[in-house]
A and B are shown apart, each in its own frame.
Chain A
Amino acid sequence: MSKVGIIGVGQSKFVRTYPGSVRELAFEGFKEAMQDAQIGVDAIDATVVCSAPEYDKQRSPAGVIAEYLGLNPQPTFYAESLCASSSTGLKLAYSLVKSGLHDVVMVLGFQIMSQLSSAESQERMGRGADIQWESPFGTMMPAYYAMHAQAHMAKYGTTLEDLAAVRVKAATYGPLNEKGVFRKQITMEQFEETEGFVGGPVASPLRGGDCCANADGSSCIIVASEDKAKALSSKPIWIKGLGSASAPVNMAGRDQLHGLAVAQQSAQQAYKMAGVTAQDIDVAEVHDCFTIAEIMAYENLGFAKPGEGAALIRSKETYKEGRIPVNVDGGLLSKGHPIGATGGSQIRTVVLQLRGEAGEIQVKDPAIGLVHNIGGVGLYGHVTILGRD
């Protein structure tokens, strides 16, 4: 069976406020991926543009971005699944290539969030949930994930210190990532300062330090058929497994709040397709939009048994030198979370790791990597497994 490879990866810096327009931001990730792949625009057969709507004024952004990047007259498509948009884009690109419709497909994720105030942004994110039956109560993303944290703590005895430990790990690597928005270290002591930015309450039990930062950013992944990948690239990384799932949008439809069913289901599919298990994963990027999300990811992906996610962070086995390094690029918590660009950025990190090009955050000789990207509050799930061979 023919393989599908990744021949180029790129991302913009993730910043608080990008001093330019959507198309210009898109160019930054695009340029890096094109230089990485060492190809020209004529080599791209189609583009999938990915973002979450209503953060900027441009409707149907695929058109304007394809024009600006010189990708006319090739077809361009738009993919949306909130924070998982560019993983959805990757799955579409894989399908387009695997079907034989196109040989080389670009996945371009972006988001400009800084045009909105924080409260407006929370309102938009809240409307990614059930606007008829939940939004009228004043919901927002931190509060939904906080409900998951509360449920996880009640069921498994997970503590505030366990949550903080996830952020301390992310902030260990944030300073090393020149593309990240938050590049300072964070200590456990800062979580105890209840008036501070890190320790101050947001939505119980989550505090400021438990939440990732909004950011502006773009990411770009270039996917190619096996023949094209081998012809164009000396270092292709192969897409070995893809899993995806959806869950009821309203919390009332969920069987559990101490984990995300979409992550479990996506992981099972991806492991099966790749013919590997959780024990085979050498490096992972997980969707740590909030600290609790990383602990749930450990369990949902099988890195830890149910209820033992907190023990995994306490043991430091998810640090760079540990058994299963997770988010050693700082994760969403430190790198920042420009919604539509996030999945592509996670893919980029794992591709660089598998190539041995990750610099200061390089883990030791990884062969198989995993990306876990979640849209909404466990609404859309994607798990992607990449390999050197």
Chain B
Amino acid sequence: MAKKEIDARFNKFGTVSFTDVTRVNDFIDYLEQGKLMGARCKTCGVKFFPPRADCYHSLDSDMEWFEVTGAGKLVSYSALKYAPSGFKADLPYTIALVDFGDFKVFGRIDGSVPSDALKVDMNMKAVVTETKNGQLTYTFQKA
């Protein structure tokens, strides 16, 4: 990307992104490659999800990417019958939190998983996919 242009890659994240510019914009490039990534501080080794550009432990901004792989446990979820403005076309959808041990990931349950098949503590994995309106996102599927 040419330096003169605004690096607004993050506006591709989710059905409606409320953020254009962030110093973790490479997150979007990884999504394009089908990878969901978190960030790890190279100085102190702490893993962050969501990824961040800066570490408050070490005060360094020297982060490396790691891929979110394997199965996590479903902490909780909710199936929405109404949506905030901008999301109505996505209904019905289910938001969820999955615990991967070192970190947790907030997102949506994949549309292929019926909500009556969900149970707290079940194993889920994160999969990179597209939203209905062609934006980049990730969802949780049964692991």
On whether A148 and B76 interact (CB within 8 A), knowing A136-B16, A137-B106, the answer reads yes
B12-56 contacts to A, CB under 8 A, are: 13-19, 22, 49-50
> In the bound complex, how far is the Cα of B82 from the Cα of A201, in angstroms?
9
Interface size of B as a range? 35 or more
Interface CB pairs A-B, < 8 A, 15: A117-B85, A120-B85, A123-B85, A125-B84, A136-B18, A137-B108, A138-B15, A138-B87, A140-B83, A150-B76, A201-B81, A203-B80, A250-B106, A252-B49, A252-B50
Contact B84 A139 (CB under 8 A): yes
B34 to nearest A CB, angstroms?
Answer: 18
User: Which of A127-135, A301-309, A311-319 lies at the binding interface?
Assistant: A127-135
> In the bound complex, how far is the Cα of B137 from the Cα of A134, in angstroms?
11
Complex interface bits, A190-219 against B, C-beta within 8 A gives 1, otherwise 0: 000000000011111110000000000000
Q: Inside 8 A of A139's CB, which chain B residues have their CB?
A: 84, 95
Which residue of chain A has its CB nearest to the CB of B24?
Answer: A132
A310 within 8 A of B: no
User: Which of B1-9, B57-65, B97-105 lies at the binding interface?
Assistant: B97-105
Which residue of chain B has its CB nearest to the CB of A200?
Answer: B81
Contact A151 B120 (CB under 8 A): yes
Q: Inside 8 A of A132's CB, which chain B residues have their CB?
A: 10, 18-19, 22, 50
Contact B17 A136 (CB under 8 A): yes
Q: Inside 8 A of A202's CB, which chain B residues have their CB?
A: 80-82
A245 within 8 A of B: no
On whether A137 and B84 interact (CB within 8 A), knowing A132-B19, A143-B78, A148-B76, the answer reads no
Contact B77 A150 (CB under 8 A): yes
A119 within 8 A of B: yes
B71 within 8 A of A: no
Contact A133 B85 (CB under 8 A): no
Q: B94, B95, B119, B120: which has the most chain A beta carbons within 10 Å?
A: B95
Of the candidates A119, A134, A203, the one whose C-beta lies within 8 Å of that of B88 is A119
Of the candidates A126, A134, A204, the one whose C-beta lies within 8 Å of that of B79 is A204
B90 within 8 A of A: yes
> In the bound complex, how far is the Cα of B12 from the Cα of A132, in angstroms?
11
B86 within 8 A of A: yes
Which residue of chain A has its CB nearest to the CB of B96?
Answer: A147
Contact B17 A154 (CB under 8 A): no
B115 within 8 A of A: yes
> In the bound complex, how far is the Cα of B85 from the Cα of A122, in angstroms?
7
